[in-house]
């Protein structure tokens, strides 16, 4: 765990979960990691394909710019 409380989820676990998004649920003294299904999958038939393409292109660019400007905000 980093100083900011971030963790890395191993690829094998991410692949098993089948989701890029997760939630942490506290159950007594345990913390359970649960996959969160993408709304895009359910709503994709209503989405404008150009918006999905724009999102897919914008995300890597945003991350690269963030790293170039000095990292985390």
Instruction: List pLDDT tens digits, range 12-49.
Output: 988 888 877 888 889 999 999 888 876 555 565 666 66
Q: Which residues pair with 27 in a beta bridge?
A: 30
pLDDT at 28: 94
What gap in Å lies between CA 19 and CA 2, rounded to an integer? 22
What does pTM read for this prediction?
0.44
- Cβ burial, residue 23 (10 Å; 0-12/13-18/19+): exposed
């Amino acid at each position: 765990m980093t100083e900011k409380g971030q963790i890395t989820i191993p690829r094998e676990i991410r692949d098993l979960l089948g989701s890029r998004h997760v939630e942490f649920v506290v159950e007594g003294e345990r913390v359970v990691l649960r996959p969160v299904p993408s709304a895009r999958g359910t709503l994709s038939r209503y989405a404008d394909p150009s918006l999905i393409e724009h999102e897919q292109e914008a995300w890597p660019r945003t991350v690269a710019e963030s790293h170039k400007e000095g990292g985390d905000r």
